[in-house]
């Protein structure tokens, strides 16, 4: 059966096909990951080239027949151009797109995750890049996908935590009894409360705060992302570069 369908979403990945084409991955507003061929999109004068660049939000009309779906028409909704002129912001946007590509399944219907990505991208458009806000995004993104982590109570037995040990498979932090014999990262009370705050507060409220504890939070959330992506993320390694 042949059909045309219209999708709006973010371009999260482009893979070269032959000399002029790309196989493009798009995270749609319905929360799914779709792939289609953008013919001629690697040619300089191509009309569709601009619309299938990374982290463009666009509307894409896809033709589905036999073989791979083909892009028929593309319109840019938002090119997020202020992000493209700023090294830190574009670094963060690339990392966000990579997370979508690695963690969203094809028919996932992760609409909340899409809304979160959109709100973080809009935040980046009008605010300076702030590592703590980026870390809050990553923690919330995991939560949207069903990996909501808790840091106030032991994820295993439920007792309140003054301090704890990081244990992602249990769902956050665990107490000394539930910790088990393996080596786990120790979390002080201030780390636990910062992680809770990062999961709860809006991006705008976090901006400019918690600078001194930021590095610890980043390491902890890096380890969450590594656990979720099974170490496949590359953007994380470049973060020291875009944070200067």
Q: Does 154 bind Zn ion (CB under 5 A)?
A: yes
Count interface residues toward Zn ion (CB under 5 A). Answer: 5
Question: Helix (H) and strand (E) counts for the chain?
Answer: 8, 8
Q: Which of 80, 81, 79, 61 is nearest to 71 (CA)?
A: 61
3-state secondary structure (DSSP) of residue 124: helix
Cβ proximity to Zn ion, 167 vs 210, nearer residue: 167
Q: How far apart, in whole angstroms, are the C-alpha atoms of residue 203 and residue 193?
A: 17
- Mention every residue, 6+ apart, whose C-beta is less than 8 A from residue 96: 55, 117, 120, 121, 137
Edge-to-edge strand ranges of the sheet holding 164-167: 172-174, 164-167, 186-187
Stretch that binds Zn ion, among 48-56, 62-70, 147-155, 189-197 (CB under 5 A): 147-155
Among 111, 156, 216, 229, binds Zn ion (CB under 5 A): 156
Closest CB to Zn ion among residues 46, 156: 156
Residue 178 in contact with Zn ion, rule: CB under 5 A? yes
Q: What values do phi and psi take at 168, rounded to 5?
A: -55, -45
Minimum distance of Zn ion from residue 155's CB (angstroms): 8
- Based on the shown chain and the rule CB under 5 A, indicate whether residue 170 belongs to the binding site for Zn ion: no
Nearer to Zn ion, 133 or 175 (CB): 175
One of 26, 175, 198, 220 touching Zn ion (CB under 5 A): 175
Return the number of the residue (65 or 180) whose C-beta is nearest Zn ion: 180
Contact positions with Zn ion (CB under 5 A) in 104-123: none
Name the one range near Zn ion by CB under 5 A: 12-20, 114-122, 146-154, 182-190: 146-154
Strands, E, within 107-226: which ranges?
164-167, 172-174, 186-187
Tell me the two tokens of residue 120. 């973080």
For residues 40 and 18, the answer to whether their CB atoms sit within 8 Å is: no
| Listed ranges 6-14, 19-27, 54-62, 149-157: which one lies at the site for Zn ion (CB under 5 A) | 149-157
Q: CB-based burial of residue 117 (10 Å sphere; 0-12 exposed, 13-18 middle, 19+ buried)?
A: buried
Q: How far is the CB of 157 from Zn ion (least distance, A)?
A: 3
Candidate residues 50, 68, 157, 204; the one interacting with Zn ion per rule CB under 5 A? 157
Residues that bind Zn ion (CB under 5 A): 154, 156-157, 175, 178
């Amino acid at each position: 059966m042949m059909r045309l369908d219209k999708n709006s979403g973010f371009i999260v990945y482009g893979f070269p096909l032959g000399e002029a084409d790309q196989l493009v991955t798009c995270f749609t507003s319905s929360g799914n990951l779709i792939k289609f061929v953008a013919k001629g999109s690697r040619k300089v004068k191509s009309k569709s080239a601009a619309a299938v660049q990374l982290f463009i939000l666009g509307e894409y009309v896809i033709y589905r027949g036999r073989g791979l779906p083909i892009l028929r028409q593309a319109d840019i909704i938002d090119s997020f151009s202020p992000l493209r002129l700023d090294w830190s912001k574009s670094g963060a946007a690339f990392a966000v797109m990579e997370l979508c590509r690695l963690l969203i399944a094809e028919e996932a219907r992760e609409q909340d995750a899409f809304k979160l990505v959109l709100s973080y991208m809009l935040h980046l458009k009008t605010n300076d890049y702030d590592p703590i806000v980026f870390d809050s995004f990553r923690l919330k993104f995991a939560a949207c996908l069903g990996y909501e982590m808790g840091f106030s109570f032991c994820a295993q037995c439920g007792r309140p935590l003054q301090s704890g040990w990081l244990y992602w498979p249990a769902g956050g932090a665990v107490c000394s009894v539930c910790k088990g014999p393996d080596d786990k990262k120790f979390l002080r009370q201030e780390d636990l409360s910062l992680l809770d705050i990062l999961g709860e507060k809006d991006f705008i409220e976090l901006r400019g705060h918690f600078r001194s504890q930021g590095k610890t939070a980043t390491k902890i959330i890096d380890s969450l992302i590594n656990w979720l992506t099974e170490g496949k993320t590359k953007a994380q390694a470049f973060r020291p570069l875009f944070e200067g």
